Amino acid sequence: MIYLDNAATSFPKPESVYVAMDRFARHSLANPGRSGHRMALESEHALSDARHRLNRFFNGRNPERWAFTLNCTDALNMAFKGVLNDGDHVITTDLEHNSVSRPLVALAEAGRITLTRVPADSGGTIDPEAVRAAIGPKTRLVAMTHASNVLGTVQPITDVGRICRERDVLFLVDAAQTAGAIAVDVQAAHIDLLAFPGHKSLLGPTGTGALYVGPRVTLRPWREGGTGGDSLTPTQPTDFPHYLEGGTPNVLGVVGLVAGLDFVEARGVESIRRHETELCERLRGALAELPGFEVFGHANEAQRVGALSFRCELLPAPEFAGVLDQSFNIAVRPGLHCSPYVHKALGTAPDGLVRVSPGPFSTAADIDVLADALKQITSV
């Protein structure tokens, strides 16, 4: 299988991820903080080390402000339902994944918040001044993606963050497509809440993610239960990270996440991104030579991550991707990509687009095989 669906989850993982998880599972996988024996302490150390690594990688304020989650969706729900109060106003965009949109729409439909959705321009970029204009006296939070999972377009989060800080509004960034693919500095970008998965560009396993909670944020816990460190307190202990981490954490997954982070740091974030965007540009060039294809999103490689979406006038996106899978052994992602608002804005609903997202192990030969397959499909 030629795997070109890394925007959904990275595959394959670095060999070091498999090795680290296997070794830890066989020798050290105990319940952290619940016992004083050596294996439990090793598990606790693994979590502590991972928090320090993430804090350094994203330039956070404190390692304890990183809460491990099931995935990015879990982190976003933790943020929204922990921060927002009845009567709050929230600003988001039409580029958002359903992990952002659905919780906010549900709160709005329940009459608990009001919601403003700022549209992107025709190239897929949000204007920070449009965000500024949408801020009102009840605005509590601006929530936006760092890069569109449909178009690959990178958003001006530093400019938006500066506006939020000036207006004393909390700023949440969904870094599902950028954590590990673009350098993210939570302090420089004035980010109060950063949510991301471990299984995409950080090259860790599924079932991992984290939420960074900056010092300006006060929130309610999303899960309550055992922490191991404080069994006497009748409600969830208020010290971080235990305040947000009720229950046994996915230590094995976090070990894999750190191994993925090791690979990313050794290879270099910018080097990996350049490799992936160059492969997308190689595909863009091939599509330009074929009749009947339309590519979406602006073409500025410096403002994109490694995802490229297109449609073909001959076949709907789901059928096109099915042919690539069944006849050519190529994995891509068709449809609405869990981001219906951007497809409505583009006029590509309900069938959506075909998304190609190479990863660090993808090659130019993979793209050439895909391009040849596209040519064969359209010449039938």
Residues designated as active site = 338
Nearest Cα to 201, choosing from 13, 16, 364, 75? 13
The whole-angstrom separation of Cα 204 and Cα 259 is 7
Longest CA–CA span in the chain (Å) reads: 70
DSSP 128-159: HHHHHHH--TTEEEEEEESB-TTT-BBP-HHH
The beta-carbon contacts of 281-285 under 8 Å, at least 24 apart in sequence, are 282/364, 282/367, 282/368, 283/308, 283/356, 283/367, 283/370, 283/371, 284/308
The whole-angstrom separation of Cα 66 and Cα 249 is 13
Nearest Cα to 213, choosing from 359, 368, 78, 354? 78
DSSP 127: -
3-state class of 278 per DSSP? helix
Spell out the residues 6+ positions from residue 313 whose beta carbon is closer than 8 angstroms to its own: 292, 293, 294
The whole-angstrom separation of Cα 101 and Cα 78 is 14
The whole-angstrom separation of Cα 378 and Cα 24 is 49
The whole-angstrom separation of Cα 296 and Cα 147 is 14
> Is the distance from CB of 240 to CB of 230 less than 8 angstroms?
no
**Helix and strand totals (H; E) in the chain:** 11, 13
Instruction: Output the CA angle 334-337-341, nearest 5 degrees.
Output: 125
Show the tokens assigned to 36: 């004083």
